[in-house]
Structure 1
């Protein structure tokens, strides 16, 4: 990136991104939402946050909870981090409060750290409280970036020019293969159809009660299915297509409580549910429309090295490129120092290096339990 990953570098990149894809600033179709249609997920990199506020002031920006959990692990330990993964996934305030109480019992500092992060940028309960926030795709975070990395990771071995060319061609071929694979298919995509079929099978013994006669709210009782799945009640509004579990409004696909309502109260078939109550985004017609256009590759053989658009010496891999494999556990709060490959040259102990040795000694004295050393 130009000038490194600082605010100016990110601003330069994001401005070019908007110029190339103006659709990113498209208005949200739901008038209740106060943000644009596309949201941005980031790891809270400070320069990126500043640049997003300038380039995408009207797009919702939320944080990847996986990165938050990793930061918590570095700060206060793995015992707290394992609860952080569950926090953004639940739409239940009761469950959220219980998780925060568990975190506080382990580390008050960990609870304070999490409360310092804006809830409406990573907690599902905030999406329920604020109807002006956009619907979320992926309760925790999507795996899209990791999937793309696995597909184009080899391209990073070359120069920036060869890397870009390789990525463009792989994306073009990917779109072509998906277009051929889905051509002529209709109805709900197979993955969503499989999910709905499982929900249809598992809701047969649910009980659906009408809250107000002739109204749109229904109470759905789920009987217990063992210690791991105790009995619960969920309130859903079929007119607004919302459920207390949050999944219906989240994904645009009926959750298991909504499927129970349509099956047991409305006596509708599974096929009718898929045809009439699933968002158009999950149908092959939308997929085929999306794949109609493709990325047009550029032949490198016809490009001239003009010094501006294409500078000289652009076929050699530049120094300073980030590693393809990240080095884990380079934390001064390593939880299992005996297994760490890092050895301090000052005290000869494992789990940290000389730069963090003094700070670690001080933290061991102040918070011995939070370091969880054995």
Structure 2
């Protein structure tokens, strides 16, 4: 009997999806429905890419959900890894999740194909790296971040006008900074156009970059060894996070409490006027409020500045109104940011694993390593 070539040679590694039950359960238990997506290079002689999906806990720290090891970062591999991810955590074909990314090659098209109705945010820092190559200056930089970070459309339009004035159109062929921004749909990068379902004002994909740095020492190892190093780090990290929060005295996570305290400090120069039914008009006498009169509905948890409903905790205008009513700030903070929900996130376990000498042997042949590809540039 003559055996075919594919019957003789072991299969070659193509791509691998990796997610542990403890990772998924931590995210699904008490985290907001926002997922950061990013890719980074593997540093072995065989190359390859590591695609990561990262969530956020109640203290705005990273919660790794899943990894995928692929040969190259392209639309096909992003589509495959996203299908695996959404099949794993639920929500495939539903408008359930919010995604944020650096606009990687093929990822935008993959998200449009798989979850066309889900929100997809673009990282502002990545966008600024593109815009600053052509448009320089401290004034334009400041206006760019104000345009992207403001949470209401009125302030958005005002800052866009200021940007147009700072970079006027000198000739018909010249594309101004504001025109460059207007070519990108605002719902992808401007906080004023974001949906409020995920209770997050995040405009940068920094947690994915933090995770890529966190696993830097593992990325030059072979795939199984790399994944085992990552598992060990995450196993220890989950228990460290849990133990640290158990010692914390307070009901609101420390990073969120720090932001609320900052809002309270800013609010000291504001004046709130009661109009009935827990509605307040807040007048601002501060450099932080350029366009300075807002309406706060404490019963609806909204403010016309947009931040209260976008984040899920009181903005500076809401802090003034809450103080006027002699109520507690904690009563107006969403449960996502509570110590109790944080401990629920880290109540799960990534189990210990015996050494390779205890692994069960299967009837399958070992995988071949990936095809070696010579990298560009000097070795």
TM-score by length of 1: 0.69
Q: In 1, Cα distance between the equivalents of 2:309 and 2:111?
A: 27
Q: What is residue 78 of structure 1 aligned with on the other side? A: 136
> What secondary structure, in the 3-state scheme, does the structure 1 residue paired with 2:296 have?
strand
Alignment partner, residue 187 of structure 2:
120
Change (3 A) 1:113 1:70: same
Q: 2:280 aligns with which of 209, 218, 235?
A: 218
Alignment of 1:243 onto 2:298: no
CA shift at 1:208, angstroms? 0.8
Shift of 1:83: 3.8
> Of residues 260, 265, 274 in structure 2, which corresponds to 1:196?
260
Residue 111 (structure 1) aligned to one of 178, 194, 206: 178
Q: Distance in 1 between matches of 2:146 and 2:269?
A: 28
Distance 1:53 1:311 in 2: 33
Flag the structure with higher helix content. Answer: 1
Q: Is residue 288 of structure 1 aligned with residue 325 of structure 2?
A: no
Are 1:273 and 2:340 matched, yes or no? no
2:367 maps to: 311
SS in 2 for 1:57: coil
Look up the match of 2:37: none
Q: Tell me by how many angstroms 1:123 deviates.
A: 1.0
Match of 2:162 in 1: 98
Residue equivalent to 2:118: 59
Query: The residue matched to 1:87 in structure 2 has which SS?
Result: helix
Q: What is the correspondence of 1:276-355 to structure 2 with a 5 Å cutoff?
A: 276-296=331-351, 298-299=353-354, 301=356, 302-303=358-359, 311-313=367-369
Distance 2:188 2:159 in 1: 19
Residue 371 of structure 1 corresponds to which residue in structure 2? none
Which structure is richer in relative contact order (CA contacts within 8 A, separation 6 or more)? 2
Deviation by residue 1:185-218 (Cα, 9 ceiling, x = unmatched): 551122333333343344334211134xx24432
Rounded Cα–Cα distance in structure 2 between residues aligned with 1:67 and 1:164:
28
Residues 3-48 of structure 1 deviation map (CA, whole Å, 9 limit, x = unaligned): 52222121122222223333x5597xxxxxxx31x21112222411
Offset, 1:279: 0.8
Q: Is the CA contact 2:273–2:281 (under 8 Å) kept in the aligned structure 1?
A: yes
Tell me: CA distance 1:135–1:10, structure 2 relative to 1, closer, same or farther (3 Å). Answer: closer
- Is residue 206–residue 220 contact of structure 1 (8 Å, CA) maintained in 2? yes
Distance 1:14 1:65 in 2: 22
What is the aligned counterpart of 1:174 among 203, 214, 237? 237
Matched, 1:87 2:147: yes
